[in-house]
Amino acid sequence: MKVSKLLMATALTAVTTAGATTASADELTLCWAAWDPANALVELSKDFESQSGIKMNFEFVPWPNFADRMLNELNSGGKLCDLLIGDSQWIGGAAENGNYVKLNDFFAQEGISMDDFIPATVTGYAEWPKGTPNYWALPAYADVVGWTYRKDWFERPELQTEFKEKYGYDLGIPSSLEHLKDIAEFFQGREIDGNTVYGAAIYTERGSEGITMGVTNALYNYGFEYQNPNKPYDLEGYVNSPGAVAGLEFYKELYDVGAPPGSSNWYMSEDIDAYKSGQVALQMNFAFIWPGVNADPNVGGDHTGYFANPPGPAGQFAQLGGQGISVVANTDNMEGALAYIKWFAQGDVQARWTDMGGASAMRSVVEAPGFADAQPFNQAFLDSMAIVKDFWAEPSYASLLLPMQGRVHEYVIAGQGTAQEALDGLVQDWIEVFEDEGLR
């Protein structure tokens, strides 16, 4: 969330191996989404197979169907998955419902320390309740919303001159969200190399989680809080604070002045396509796309730069993405599943995981000398992971997500009502969810 990601670029390649509904004692089935990092995990896991003698099966589900398929599997007590790399928002429900194995005793027995991982990923991917040392997963894939930009366009002298004359500061990596909006507006409808281009591809999708994963990057930085930090589930004045209202208004303004025509329902794949096809100067997206952008023949290499979500008046934050790996509680091969977790938690395995296309959350990997400069996007990744926040991870997170999707989309995209009305309505929606859960 997070991103949890309920949607994914359909153009990305994926390996899907249909596993049996149960695993024998010398087999394991690992379930995840179908995307390029999953392919890398297949290759990486060959080392585990050779060391353990356990055959690995993989069930990779396309992102649009991933949440429904896997949550149904967990809630029905299915036997498909021994190991599951699930979204951060699932932790609360999976822990409360007994779907995941609590790993504290195992970690202690095997000397696996959560101090070895980026703190934000431990909180986001492993802990429930949040802020307590109760672990239901090992951080598996670190991800966060960040930005790519057409560095080659930004460096054109004529555009630099025109931009400074208009806005009074240099065209470059934006130092604030307001500057980012200026840049998007500057490029909107501009002709470059004979083509009409636009400002920024941002998240606007309504059907799953897209616009929430986008708008939070503005809301957080203008002062939005999910609840009173001193009184859980106290929402009034936090979700709909003046700062939160200003953040929602900013996101609508960014959409109005800088988004491409026809982008009213875009998420990861649409943003990727728009950027790689040269339609936009800026792209909001999860960091997992950065290696693919860097390798792209049209926009890769020196054509593209990367930066963390810029600050707003209330601070600098970015929406967390990524997942942890958990042992499914009703596995028939508990010993093998735990052996896989132990193997995956090794420092050398984590280093190879990143080298092969994964994204380790282990500090020894991301804090290693030379890591920041090893790829042109690594510093932006580190900067981004240092400022993450996440959506609700409550057992009722899906019931919390749906009204936010609706309220925000209706205001930002459809132009219905005011930002204050949208957030006031969201407060009432969320209060009703928590009352139904007996938490208020």
Q: Which pLDDT tens digit goes with each residue over 62-72?
A: 988 899 999 99
CA 74 to chain centre: 22
In degrees, rounded to 5, the angle at the alpha carbon of residue 285 between the alpha carbons of residues 137 and 3 is 25
Longest CA pairwise span in the chain (Å): 69
Nearest to 116 by CA among 334, 364, 294: 364
**Mean pLDDT score of the chain, rounded to an integer?**
94
Least confident residue range of 67-71, 296-300, 301-305:
67-71
Give residue 7's pLDDT band: very low, low, confident or very high (50, 70, 90): very low
User: Which residue matches tokens 């609360």?
Assistant: 92
At 64 the pLDDT is 81
Nearest to 420 by CA among 280, 267, 279, 241: 241
| Paired strand residues for 306 | 148
Residues ≥6 apart with Cβ < 8 Å to 115: none
Q: Which pLDDT tens digit goes with each residue over 105-162?
A: 999 999 999 999 999 999 999 999 999 999 999 999 999 999 999 999 999 999 999 9
For residue 183, count other CB atoms closer than 10 A to its CB. 23
Question: In b/e form, how buried is each residue of 73-90, taking b as 16+ CB within 10 angstroms?
Answer: bbeeebbbbbbbbbbbbb
| Predicted confidence (pLDDT) at residue 8 exceeds the cutoff of 50 | no
End-to-end CA distance of the chain: 25
**403, 411 Cβ separation under 8 angstroms:** no
Q: Which pLDDT tens digit goes with each residue over 325-356?
A: 999 999 999 999 999 999 999 999 999 999 99
Give residue 1's pLDDT band: very low, low, confident or very high (50, 70, 90): very low
In degrees, rounded to 5, the angle at the alpha carbon of residue 202 between the alpha carbons of residues 197 and 206 is 130
Q: What is the mean pLDDT of residues 415-429?
A: 98
Q: What is the DSSP string of 178-245?
A: HHHHHHHHHHTTEEETTEEEEEEE-----SSSHHHHHHHHHHHHHT--SSBTTBTT--TTTTT-HHHH
Relative to beta strand 195-201, strand 388-389 is unpaired
C-alpha to C-alpha distance for 366 and 369, rounded to whole angstroms = 9
If phi over 0 gives left and psi between -120 and 50 gives alpha, with beta otherwise, what is residue 350? alpha
Question: In b/e form, how buried is each residue of 269-283, taking b as 16+ CB within 10 angstroms?
Answer: bbbbebbbebbbbbb
At 3 the pLDDT is 38
Q: Which pLDDT tens digit goes with each residue over 246-277?
A: 999 999 999 999 999 999 999 999 999 999 99
161, burial (CB in 10 Å: exposed 0-12, middle 13-18, buried 19+) = exposed
Instruction: Delineate the domains of the chain, giving CATH numbers in brackets.
Output: 27-143+321-389 (3.40.190.10), 145-319 (3.40.190.10)
| Paired strand residues for 56 | 28
